[in-house]
Amino acid sequence: MEFDRNQITQKLNQKGATKPCHRCGNVNFSIIDGFSNIQLNMQLTGAMVLGGPSVPVVKVVCTQCGAISSHAVGVLGLLSQDKGGQ
C-alpha cells in the first residue's frame, strides 16, 4: 500500500478515532508521513529480534503536546489482500 494521508484520515474517522488527545485534551492531530512497525517478541529475553513478526501501523501526533498514538493498518482495512500484505 502506498501512503495516502486522506485515506488514512477517512478510515480513522470511520472507526470513530475522533476523541481529543489522551494527554492534554487537544482536538488537533497530524498524521506522520510513512508507516512504522511494532516488533513482536515471543519471549521476554530483553533481546531485540530483527526480521520477526510485526504489526504495521500509522502514527498520529497531537499538535499541542506531541503525544503519539499508533493505529494498526490491518484493523483500519488498509492492508493489501495480496500475499505478504504489501
The helix, strand and coil proportions of the chain, stated in percent and rounded to the nearest 5, come to 15, 25, 60
Least confident of 60-64, 75-79, 81-85: 81-85
How many C-beta atoms surround the C-beta of residue 60 within 10 A?
19
Residue 86 pLDDT level (bands cut at 50, 70, 90): very low
Tens digits of residue pLDDT in 64-76: 999 999 999 999 9
Strands 68-72 and 36-39: unpaired
Read off the pLDDT of each residue in 19-48 and give the average, rounded to a whole number.
91
Predicted confidence at residue 46, as pLDDT, reads 73
Q: Is the pLDDT of residue 48 over 90?
A: no
Residue 81 pLDDT level (bands cut at 50, 70, 90): low
Write out the three cell numbers for 62: 497531537
